[in-house]
Structure 1
């Protein structure tokens, strides 16, 4: 393994929450404490995870929590030797936020969720457990049907909301990253995402969060066939030509990066449906050479302010999340990504 100290290697806490719940057929959430234990237990050749990325919502965190409660959470995380990196703002309707594409009241709720996330970030920063990372958002408009009624107008409305959110973040010394995922209106294809980033036009404060599982489906044109860069049955040469084309467009905006695997399926669980299926790092059906594909995104990553990368395994079954072998395989591939594409301080 390379001795590169950067980027730091993080594990996401939200796989213990996303797609979990008390509805029919849903598995129960996994507590923050248990997710931390599982992450801390992973070890490959004496190397371990450096930190976590964190979803600011119940049951892991009350976004309305007071400073004392947040400092206790910071102490808990630091007790495992972890840093906190990127934070996920609770921007969705039914949490504390609402759609960025909605009316004035809905958009104000969206912005209030960003303010909450910035406040929590400030507590973690002052504590010392958080030294890098961004705040992640999306449009909180699930599905593309309503967006398609007026693509230009709706993209402009989302961009206006995002600009105001970016100004709020800048006032707190934070940067925002919009999650590229096919389920979010206006962020559902590589072309729509690029149009939105350019419409916001605040690259110092507002950028892109690339997830390898989700961006694979960008290539195939799910939810946006007109933007497809590949057809089923593609060759390896066709894949990498298309992958490079897509990444070259989005990489300059990329300020947060998730290592992940995808088997080409659209998947969902609970209230989080019709999105990219995250697969185990060693899934035999995975479509991606994880280390090679990560390299396309990590070119010049240091210059874009990226100091860590995060594994995302959303909507894994609880039995998979509870298996130590899952985390050792994930850490192993993360170390290989850093060995191939990392850098010194």
Structure 2
């Protein structure tokens, strides 16, 4: 549901899209008789108040269930301006980061007890930019690891797991090598892991924000691409607890704290760089053994006109079915 919020600004031509309208768009999609099974949620306003009462959460769960949908993974409000702060920020920032995870786990428990949620993780990222991170990479990696461990302990207490998004705009996950360093330093396999998004991890290959970690150069051949893709996925797959189908046209885009990040484009975009089904199969090998029970899609930064078009949802659903069949 977060594509209806991320990059959206009130009183502009791309305002936030309400949860109910996003649910309606989800429920209306259909490809060859198959529909979406459910939705992932962003635990922040205006979709979900992180401090909502149990009755309010149950009411939301009833709404989702009424549309024959389930709930999967929950995005914790870890960013400045929500509940949290950078995982390598001040003591207060890091305390608030863990608090954001705790609030999300509380809501997850209510949804689980309701019965509308039966799978998924708590999704985070480091919530801090690459420039600040680069001031002290070793020290900041250690801070992120400590913050993630504290958040991981909270998640374990609630029967949950955490997956950190691999996205080039977040310090500590700005390259595939940095992500490996952070996850290994955290050292909570199976509890704190990686969330792979096809659009974002494509940019890992190209070395955006981390040229030293690039595995490909412009003009690469097909053989070079798949060799590089295997290198990256072999390294990160054992840590991968959550997965997003997406497409990337090779450009970088973002707004606000998500500046210079992977451009999500429609799944059927003719400029898309990825064979979605084949790329997905690399990430989803052994997914069941890692506890992955559902996959999601991410269309952050889609224009509202694109996001509100039924054709967009059907194209993504077809790509997800193809990914499922290929894995």
Question: Bigger CA drift: 143-152 or 89-98?
Answer: 143-152
What is the TM-score of this pair, normalised by structure 1? Answer: 0.93
Q: Structure 1 residues 26 and 273, CA, compared in 2 at 3 Å: closer, same or farther?
A: farther
1:90-239 aligned within 5 A: 90-141=77-128, 143-239=129-225
User: Does residue 275 of structure 2 align to residue 289 of structure 1?
Assistant: yes
Stretches of structure 2 lacking an aligned partner (at least 5 in a row): none
2:295 is paired with a residue whose SS is strand
**Residue 85 of structure 1 contacts residue 130 of structure 1 at CA under 8 Å; is this kept in 2?**
yes
After superposition, what is the alpha-carbon deviation per residue over 1:105-124, rounded to whole angstroms, capped at 9, x for unaligned? 11111111111000000000
2:254 is paired with a residue whose SS is strand
**Residue 212 of structure 1 contacts residue 262 of structure 1 at CA under 8 Å; is this kept in 2?**
yes
- Out of 9, 33, 39, the position equivalent to 1:21 is 9
**Residue 137 of structure 1 contacts residue 178 of structure 1 at CA under 8 Å; is this kept in 2?**
yes
Cα distance in structure 2, aligned partners of 1:340 and 1:266? 28
What displacement does 1:26 show?
A: 5.4
What displacement does 1:149 show?
A: 1.5
2:236: which partner in 1? Answer: 250
Runs of 4 or more consecutive aligned structure 1 residues displaced over 3 Å after TM superposition: none
After superposition, what is the alpha-carbon deviation per residue over 1:18-67, rounded to whole angstroms, capped at 9, x for unaligned? 000126x5510100000000011111111100010110011001101010
**Residue 54 of structure 1 contacts residue 88 of structure 1 at CA under 8 Å; is this kept in 2?**
yes
After superposition, what is the alpha-carbon deviation per residue over 1:62-111, rounded to whole angstroms, capped at 9, x for unaligned? 10101000000000111111110000000111111111111211111111
Cα distance in structure 2, aligned partners of 1:132 and 1:121? 10
1:81: which partner in 2? Answer: 68
Residue-pair matches, total: 327
**Residue 190 of structure 2 contacts residue 290 of structure 2 at CA under 8 Å; is this kept in 1?**
no
After superposition, what is the alpha-carbon deviation per residue over 1:132-164, rounded to whole angstroms, capped at 9, x for unaligned? 1000011110x2112112111110011000000
What displacement does 1:310 show?
A: 0.3
**Residue 26 of structure 1 contacts residue 269 of structure 1 at CA under 8 Å; is this kept in 2?**
no
Cα distance in structure 1, aligned partners of 2:153 and 2:257? 30
User: Does residue 39 of structure 2 align to residue 52 of structure 1?
Assistant: yes
**Residue 21 of structure 1 contacts residue 270 of structure 1 at CA under 8 Å; is this kept in 2?**
no
Cα distance in structure 1, aligned partners of 2:240 and 2:81? 28
User: Does residue 327 of structure 2 align to residue 337 of structure 1?
Assistant: no
Cα distance in structure 2, aligned partners of 1:148 and 1:33? 40
User: Does residue 311 of structure 2 align to residue 325 of structure 1?
Assistant: yes
1:38: which partner in 2? Answer: 25
1:55-66 aligned within 5 A: 55-66=42-53
What displacement does 1:271 show?
A: 4.6
Stretches of structure 1 lacking an aligned partner (at least 5 in a row): 1-12
- Out of 290, 293, 305, the position equivalent to 1:304 is 290
Cα distance in structure 1, aligned partners of 2:254 and 2:87? 22
